[in-house]
Structure formats: C-alpha cells, structure tokens
Chains A and B, each alone.
Chain A
Amino acid sequence: MTPVIETRNLVKHFTFTGGFLWRRPKRLTAVDHVSLMVPRGETVGLVGESGCGKSTVGNCILRLIRANSGQVLYNGQDILTLSENDFRKLRGKLQMVFQDPQTSLDPRMTVQTIVGYPLRLQRGLKGESLEARVIAVLEDVGLRQEHAARYPHEFSGGQRQRIGIARALITGPEFIVFDEPTSALDVSVQSQILNLIQVLQKVHGYTYLFISHDLAVVRHVSSRIAVMYLGSIVESAPKERFFSNPSHPYTRALIASVPRPDPFFRQKLAVLNDDVPSPLHIPTGCRFHSRCPEVMTICRKTTPPHVAVGPDHWVDCHLYH
C-alpha cells in the first residue's frame, strides 16, 4: 500500500548574512535528509524541541517553503517537481492546521469567508452552494450556523482552532498536517480539539502528520512516532515500541523529562545538562553527542548509522551498531 505521503532525503537550508558589514553568509540546515512515511488513514507524530525543524518539514511537504533537495511523494508521485499550476490543483488534497489561533485567521474576514474561500478558489463555488458547504463543515467541527457571520476576535482560542480545522477540511483533503494545533490552548480545550480530530479521522479516513513538542499529546493521537533533533530524525517507531523500548538516548531523555502529574512518582527533573546547541553550529559526528549521557569516542567523529532495532523501529545511533 503506497503511503499517502512519503518524504525521501528532504533537505532545507536557510542562508542569511548575519550582523554588520562583511559577515560571511551563514547557513542553517533546518531539515537534513529527512525521510518519513505516513500510511493511509494513520497519524504519524513528529516530535522534537524548538529549532529541530519539525515545522519546516510540514511546510516543505505542503510546498509552503521550497525544499532544497529531496522528494515528497504524494500517492507515489513526486510533488516537488510539479509546476505551480499543476500543484495548485492538488492543494485541496493537502492541508494544514496552524498553531496560533490568534494569527492563523485573517482578522478582517468573517468566518464565512475564511472557511469558504479555499473551496471557492479550488472549485469556483459561490453563493448559496458555497454557504451550504461552509455551514456543513462548521457543524462538523462543533460550531453553529450563526457563527459564520462573525469575526475571529469574537471567538475563544479553542473555537478559532475549530475554524482553522474547518478551513482545512472544506476542500475534502486526504492529508492534513497539524502544526502544534493545541500548544496555544488550555488543557481542557486541548482535549476537546484532540477528540475532535480523532473523530474526524475515524469518520472520514483522513491521514495526519501531527507535529508537536508535547510527547503526551503525540502519544495520545499517533500510531507512529518520529523524533527529530537539530534537523534529522533520530528515532522512529510504532507507538507502543516507542514508549516501551525507547532506544535513542535523546528519546529516553525526552520521555524522562516530561513531568508526570503524579506526585508519588517523583522524577529527577534535570535529565540533560546542557542547552540545545544552536542549529547554526551543529556538532560534528552525531549531532547529539554534546549532550548524550552515553557518548562514546566514535560519536564525536562519525555520523551514526541508520539501524533497525525492531520491527519498523529505526534509530540513528552508534550504540546499536
């Protein structure tokens, strides 16, 4: 079964000239040969801390940012090689829900317009038929018909995220990237939104890439999880194996750092001792070696190999060679 989305060796650099007069242009490799697969009807969780490049991966898949090299296969076809016009026809199938409910909706448009115009652009629907579709999708996400006439600022954060989800759904997509959709929301609202997107997946068969820094949330929604660190994926596994057999030291550190809401299970909070290195100066060899509790000499010099440590469970680490 071809996965709905597959990336192969996706690379994205950002170059910029820093500071005063004659600094040499610096290159930031945000995404460094990332390959991942999202099977149909499933949710792949992409986890990592800030600056690891996970949002950039999502943007590259949707061609919101132009990748430097690599492939993105949609149902087997490389969409990075398509022309703008050809790809535009596919846009309705690949959608994204953004993080910040405050800035992801145009404050000067009504909900009707915000949710409706993707359909108008894609299929030229107008007037009453467009209105009917908008109302239908608003009801799908738990809003009501009268909400369509209002402006975003009249809604709470959770409701605005619902509007953002409605906008993503109206064109009938196959694949949706969720970029930290609940990070800006309260816990009680977060659970409503997570339940909503899971229900929608069951009913419509959507395929999701769920990007987040919150491991507990990712655990709840994903069937498969991949961890990114400074631009590359260091471990990927099905959910159960991920949590029962975390293999990469960074994965273990991440899992151990999440504070459990259980006062009888006191954790050692400071699991790693340094800060994340700047993505401008990625360490040589294994990029995690500067913070790794199990670092060996070889880690400083050679890039770690891509090893299978279980069924469909891959790690980039010297420990398993």
Chain B
Amino acid sequence: MSTLLNIENLSVEFSNYQGISSVLDRVSLTIEKGEILGLVGESGCGKSVTALSILRLIPEPPGRITSGAIRFEGEDLLKFSPKRMRQIRGNEISMIFQEPMSSLNPVFTIGNQMREVVRIHRGLRRREADTLCADMLHQVQMPDPKEVLKKYPHQLSGGMRQRVMIAMELACNPKLLIADEPTTALDVTVQGQVLAILTGLSRRRNISVLLITHDMGVVAQVCDRVAVMYAGRLVEMASTGELFANPIHPYTQGLIASIPKMDQQSGGAQETSGEHALYSIPGTVPTLIQPPPGCRFHPRCTVSGSSCDSDVPELRWVSPDHAVACHRITGGGL
C-alpha cells in the first residue's frame, strides 16, 4: 500500500479580537491509496479545519497555517501556486460538505452545475459532458438521471442532493475525496443509502476517502482506519477493529462509553430494565485561545498523572497499526 496523502506536523492558528486560537497543533496523519480513513472528534477538535487545510481553503486572515507540510503524492500542497491548487481542487482532490443545499447554487439546474465542473477540468463538449453526468448520476443510483439534470436543487430531497454532490465530485475521478460530515444532516434511512453509495464507488474506483464525522457508528461500519482528534490534536489512530476492541486513550474510551447503544451492551450483563446512567466525560471542551498546558485533555482525564499538565504527549506507535498520544499509556511521566 502506498501513501497518497501525508500530513506532517500541521499547525493552524485563527486570530480574532479575543486573541489567537491554536486550532490545530502539529497534526500528522497519512491516508493510503484506496482506503477510507475516518477522522472523528467533537466540535472544535479541528477535523474540518484539517480538511479545509488540505485544499488550502482556510481564509488567510483570520486563519494562518503556521507550520507543517501536506504531501500529496509526494509534493507539498502548501507550496503550490494558486493556479496549481485550482487544478487539484475538484480534479484530483474533491470535497463534499455537510449541507448540500449550501454547496449547490439554487438558481442553476443540476445539469448546469455538473456540466460546469466537468467542462472546467476535462474540457468536454456539451453533449459529452451531458453523457458523463447522466452516467455519474446513474452510478449514484439516482432514479431517472436525465430528468434530474433538468431540475433545480430545491426540487430534490436532501439525500438526492447529497448524491448529486457525490456524483459531481467524483465525475473527474479524483484520487482523494474529502467528505465533511456528509450524512449528518440526513435522515438515518437515507444516511445508509448514501454511505453505501459512497463506499461502493470509492472501492470500485480505488478512491481514497477522508471521512469526517462525529458519529462513531458510521466510523465503525464504513472506515478502514480511524483517527481521533481532541482540541486540535490527534490523540489516537488505529485500524477500526483495533480501535473499538482496544481503545487506549482515555478520551477515546470516554467517547465510546458515552454513546447510547442500540443493542444490549456487548460483553456486559443483560440490562433488561431500569435506566442506568450513561457514562459522561466530566467537564467541557477547552477554548483554544488558552488551551490547557501539556496534554489538552488532562483537566477532564480520570487517569491523569504528574507530567500530564506540563509535557505534551507525542503520538507513539504501540503496535504496527495503533498509535496513541498519552503519557500514561506510552510510559511517560507516571
């Protein structure tokens, strides 16, 4: 397996009148060819910022990439000229967003918008573009593709719009698709369809996917590997099976334990009646203007130790496919 994308020590700051927020702090992760990597975390953890940084879509004031490199097939995207970035966006790296209504222009037909993308990057004539678009819509299981091309975004449901977005973004056969909470705004029955389409297409065409979500259920069902972020840092990274079977970082453990489960607790006693309280991680997410020193999770950590409030834990590999950034587990400072 070769590495498609390699983010090395990426740090991003945002400044506003209150001060400077360290939104991403030396985040490093890799995406292999053809794999689906899940990027999980709660609000403010920096997962969307990471995605936008890859495509250089962070507005430069107030944001600023202060260090790091993003190597796409070996070349550092942060050093590309605007012209080269434009060639990359939509063509080699595509992105779909959470709210498809905002990504589609309401005053143009679907066909119009899809053709625009295809013609910019592939330079096809109208008739060829149309055929390609209809074909893409067919691949995302859209009923009646030719009719859909003539419709306006508001005439489609949320699930259909998201499928249109997938079709548009995959039309140019990108190598990497970034999906930022693609199903969060959709109903659960529609979510299943969209995820199935997304994973099916990416497997067939060997497209890598960076799937950003806060839903651990989606991650468990769809992703090959998972990276967990907290308050701007990467805290754990592992293959999906390994992460759920053996979560090491206290935050990951807390996160998984907080989720209300649909079925009887796996591996636990049968709870037939009576409500038991959900585990909840004490405290709240810190503001990033003055993040806690040392490990950013330590104020909420039930097992924090002596050096957790002064030394930043580095990401270390505890097994070939499992890395954690935690002093307690990787032997630092107890």
Contact = CB atoms under 8 A, between A and B. Distances in A.
Touch between A and B in complex, CB under 8 Å? Answer: yes
Interface of A: 49-50, 156-159, 186-192, 194-195, 198-199, 213-217, 219-221, 240, 243, 253-255, 257-264, 266-276, 278
B272 A240 contact: yes
Contact of B192 (A213, A257, A266, A274): A257
A195 B192 contact: no
Interface in B118-170: 141, 143, 157-160
B160 A187 contact: no
Contact of B221 (A192, A213, A267): A267
Q: Which among A192, A261, A268 has the greatest number of chain B C-beta atoms within 10 A?
A: A261
A1 to B, nearest CB: 20
Contacts of A258: 188, 217, 262
Considering the complex of A and B, which 7 residue pairs feature the smallest CB-CB distances, nearest first? A259-B217, A49-B187, A186-B42, A191-B280, A269-B192, A270-B196, A191-B278
A314 to B, nearest CB: 21
Given A258-B217, A263-B240, A195 B277 contact: yes
Interface stretch (B59-67, B82-90, B251-259, B309-317): B251-259
Interface residues of B, number: 52
Contacts of A268: 196
A213 B189 CA distance: 11
A221 B260 CA distance: 10
Nearest to B141: A273
Contact of B260 (A50, A219, A255): A219
Nearest to B159: A275
Contacts of B285: 156, 186
Contact of A261 (B143, B188, B244, B284): B244
B189 A259 contact: no
B105 interface: no
A187 B214 CA distance: 8
Contact of A191 (B143, B217, B279): B279
A264 B239 CA distance: 12
A251 B312 CA distance: 48
A187 B281 CA distance: 10
A253 B189 CA distance: 7
A223 B31 CA distance: 44
A243 B281 CA distance: 28
Nearest to B284: A156
B220 A217 contact: no
A257 B188 contact: yes
Contacts of A274: 143
